[in-house]
Amino acid sequence: MYTIGQVADMFGLPVSTLRYYDKQGLFPELERTSGIRRFGDTELEALRVIECLKKAGMEIKDIRLFMEWCAEGPSTYPKRKAMFEERKAHIESEIANMNRALDMLKFKCWYYEQAIQDGNEDRVKALIPDNLPEEIKDTYDNAHAR
């Protein structure tokens, strides 16, 4: 059994965050001795799950929901799977978006590299082909391939 301060040190989290998680119902089994929180294995495991699911961009209310489903037993396997499938699809589309943004940024870096060399944007502007430079300028590769 650990105090809140010990757990905070173990996980590198502020004490206030742990109290906040508790308030959000993320430690439903948490015990207290004369008002003081006592963190046991259940809570440490819960914290590991929380850290993991937060990395996947899950909101606290969803994490709580997931934990409730875990407590309910095997009948909630499909719900839990559906939650992760939905998260997976979401993350995949976010990754795709970020890759598009990344192409744009690569283009911008290349563009300013040229502009710095030339002292103006005239040549680099002329280099951009008119055919593909719409929104997402992955024009970088095109321009770069010259």
Measuring CA to CA, which residue among 28, 25, 8, 9 is closest to residue 17? 8
Q: Which residues in 50-79 contact a copy of itself (CB under 8 A)?
A: 52, 55-57, 74, 77-78
Distance CA 35, CA 24 (A): 18
Q: Which residues in 85-114 contact DNA (CB under 7 A)?
A: none
Q: Which stretch binds DNA (CB under 7 A): 18-26, 70-78, 91-99, 100-108?
A: 18-26
Measuring CA to CA, how many Å separate 52 from each of 37, 63, 116? Answer: 23, 10, 43
Phi-psi region of 67 (alpha: psi -120 to 50; beta: other; left: phi over 0): alpha
Q: Answer yes or no whether residue 61 interacts with DNA by CB under 7 A.
A: yes
**How many amino acids of this chain bind DNA (CB under 7 A)?**
20
Measuring CA to CA, how many Å separate 14 from each of 5, 18, 19, 21, 26? Answer: 8, 7, 9, 11, 16
Q: Which of 27, 28, 45, 54 binds DNA (CB under 7 A)?
A: 54
Q: Which stretch binds a copy of itself (CB under 8 A): 1-9, 10-18, 21-29, 108-116?
A: 108-116
Q: Which of 29, 45, 59, 72 binds DNA (CB under 7 A)?
A: 59
Residue type, 44: L
**How many amino acids of this chain bind a copy of itself (CB under 8 A)?**
36
Q: Answer yes or no whether residue 106 interacts with a copy of itself by CB under 8 A.
A: yes
Interface residues toward DNA, by CB under 7 A? 3-6, 8, 14-17, 19-21, 32, 35-37, 54, 59-61
